[in-house]
Chain A
Amino acid sequence: MTHLAYIVPAYVSALVIPAWLAGEAWLRLRRARARLLALEGGRRR
Chain B
Amino acid sequence: MLGAMEVVSPTAPPRGARGLHRFANPGRFLRLAGRALPWVSAIGLVLVALGLVWGLFFAPADWQQGDAVRIMYVHVPAAWLASAGYMALACASAVALVWRHPLADLAAVEIAPVGAGFTAICLVTGSLWGKPMWGAFWVWDARLTSVLVLFFLYLGHIALTRAFDSPERGYRAGAILALVGVVNLPIIKFSVDWWNTLHQPASITLTGAPTMYVGMLWPLLFTALGASFIFAALVLARLSAAVMERRIRALLAARAEGT
A residues within 8 Å of B by Cβ?
1-4, 6-7, 9-11, 13-14, 17-18, 20-22, 25-26, 28-29, 31-33, 35-36, 39-40, 43
A–B Cβ pairs within 8 angstroms, 9 of them: A1-B67, A2-B67, A6-B132, A7-B128, A13-B120, A18-B118, A35-B244, A36-B247, A39-B252
Contact of A29 among B113, B124, B132, B240 (CB under 8 A): B240
Contacts of B61 in A (CB 8 A): 2
Is there an interface contact between A36 and B124, defined as CB atoms closer than 8 Å? Answer: no
Query: For the complex, is B251 an interface residue (Cβ under 8 Å from A)?
Result: yes
Q: Chain A interface secondary structure, helix, strand, loop or mixed?
A: helix
Residue of A nearest to B122 (CB): A14
User: How close is B249's CB to chain A, nearest CB, in angstroms?
Assistant: 10
User: How close is B133's CB to chain A, nearest CB, in angstroms?
Assistant: 9
Is there an interface contact between A2 and B68, defined as CB atoms closer than 8 Å? Answer: yes
B residues within 8 Å of A by Cβ?
52, 56, 61, 66-68, 70-71, 74-75, 78, 113-114, 117-118, 120-121, 124-125, 128-129, 131-132, 230, 233-234, 237-238, 240-241, 244-245, 247-248, 251-252, 255
Is there an interface contact between A6 and B117, defined as CB atoms closer than 8 Å? Answer: no
Is there an interface contact between B237 and A18, defined as CB atoms closer than 8 Å? Answer: no
Is there an interface contact between A33 and B244, defined as CB atoms closer than 8 Å? Answer: yes
Is there an interface contact between A10 and B67, defined as CB atoms closer than 8 Å? Answer: no
Complex Cα gap A18–B83 (Å): 16
Contacts of B240 in A (CB 8 A): 29
Contacts of A29 in B (CB 8 A): 237, 240-241, 244
Is there an interface contact between A7 and B70, defined as CB atoms closer than 8 Å? Answer: yes
Is there an interface contact between B71 and A10, defined as CB atoms closer than 8 Å? Answer: yes
Complex Cα gap A33–B247 (Å): 11
Contacts of B132 in A (CB 8 A): 3, 6
User: How close is A45's CB to chain B, nearest CB, in angstroms?
Assistant: 13
Complex Cα gap A35–B113 (Å): 23
Given contacts A39-B251, A39-B252, contact A10 B66 (CB under 8 A): no
Is there an interface contact between A13 and B71, defined as CB atoms closer than 8 Å? Answer: no
A-B residue pairs, 10 tightest by C-beta: A32-B244, A14-B74, A28-B241, A25-B237, A3-B68, A2-B66, A10-B125, A10-B128, A2-B67, A6-B128
Q: A6-B132, A10-B128 are in contact. List 16 more A-B contacts (CB 8 A).
A: A1-B67, A6-B68, A6-B71, A7-B68, A9-B128, A10-B74, A10-B124, A14-B78, A14-B125, A18-B118, A18-B234, A21-B113, A28-B237, A29-B240, A35-B244, A36-B244
User: How close is B44's CB to chain A, nearest CB, in angstroms?
Assistant: 9
Complex Cα gap A31–B23 (Å): 24
Residue of B nearest to A11 (CB): B74
Given contacts A14-B125, A32-B241, contact A7 B71 (CB under 8 A): yes
Best-buried of A10, A11, A20, A28 by chain B (most CB within 10 Å): A10
